Structure 1
């Protein structure tokens, strides 16, 4: 069968190659494409699904044309379009969208740590500096600290962050549970 003057196998192969090239381009400039093309209901027509559909149509079509020689080309085309659509919708809803929803921002503002409870990692002398650690949902923060009350805080002491000075040094006090 021919479409647009080309054999259907050639068209499928072209779509497969175009999908692979678009995938590589998406890896390189995906954020720009996503900003320009993210339209539709809950990102249904985002670049990942469009590129994936093109690649699947090309790949499934080429394989079906090669191995299903007993079927009519129009039947193969319809089956191919339906299978590709079902696969890309399943991949979108069960893999792509959950990953997008689960993206968390691991950055934090130093001001968010005021009032946080932590632990002295390196002893804080009465008139000097030490180090504290504060557990966060996405890891542990280690910061330079000095005593707010002017008392020495030995290693392992639970502390409360009272303030943060201009240089980013934490002013801490002993925390009583």
Structure 2
């Protein structure tokens, strides 16, 4: 049984080293090959970590405890499962959610606050800047209320028509009648 534990430990360490050294090359070569059978919690990092912990715990419990083979295997599996869950919840899932994209859809514009960069005439087009995550995007804009919108004021996107953001002033300027 100790041979199984040692094999798992060595296999896990080799997998970790190979992943660090040539992980991107292997990932690109196998691009999408296993997507059909993909479960998020069966991440290779989690599985390799669990196999490594199983082997390490098995070796330690076999050498330094008076337990029989059955309880050692059960405790090793329990340790591997526990650490696998911790790795998934503490590392893999947060890293999956941390990916940023600068892409957006025009359907995401309504309700967004922007700033007029090029004045928007009552009849015609100007340009607004809207913040999406860590980036800014510029959009052609027209006045929803058919009013002049000078550069520098805050506007809200009311709707998008034919690729043009229809905007209205976010807050009325001081001195204007309501």
Are 2:53 and 1:52 aligned?
Answer: no
Query: Is 2:173 aligned against 1:173?
Result: no
Provide the aligned C-alpha RMSD in A.
Answer: 4.6
Deviation at 1:165? 3.7
Deviation of 1:36 (Å): 0.7
Deviating 4+ runs (over 6 angstroms): 59-62, 68-72, 101-106
- Hey, what's the Cα distance between the residues in 2 that align with 1:83 and 1:169? 57
Question: Residue in 2 aligned with 1:36?
Answer: 37
TM-score, length of structure 1 as denominator length: 0.57
Task: Give the Cα–Cα distance (whole angstroms) in 2 for the partners of residues 92 and 26 of structure 1.
Answer: 23
In structure 2, relative to structure 1, the CA distance for the partners of 1:91 and 1:109 (3 Å cut) is same
TM-score (norm 2): 0.57
Gaps (5+ residues) in structure 2? 173-178
The number of residue pairs the alignment matches comes to 166
* Cα distance in 1 between the residues matched to 2:34 and 2:25: 7
Q: Go from structure 1 to structure 2 and tell me whether the alpha carbon gap of 1:15 and 1:126 turns closer, same or farther (over 3 Å shift).
A: closer
Who is 1:17 aligned against? 14
Unmatched 5+ residue regions in structure 1?
Answer: none
Residue in 1 that maps onto 2:148: 152
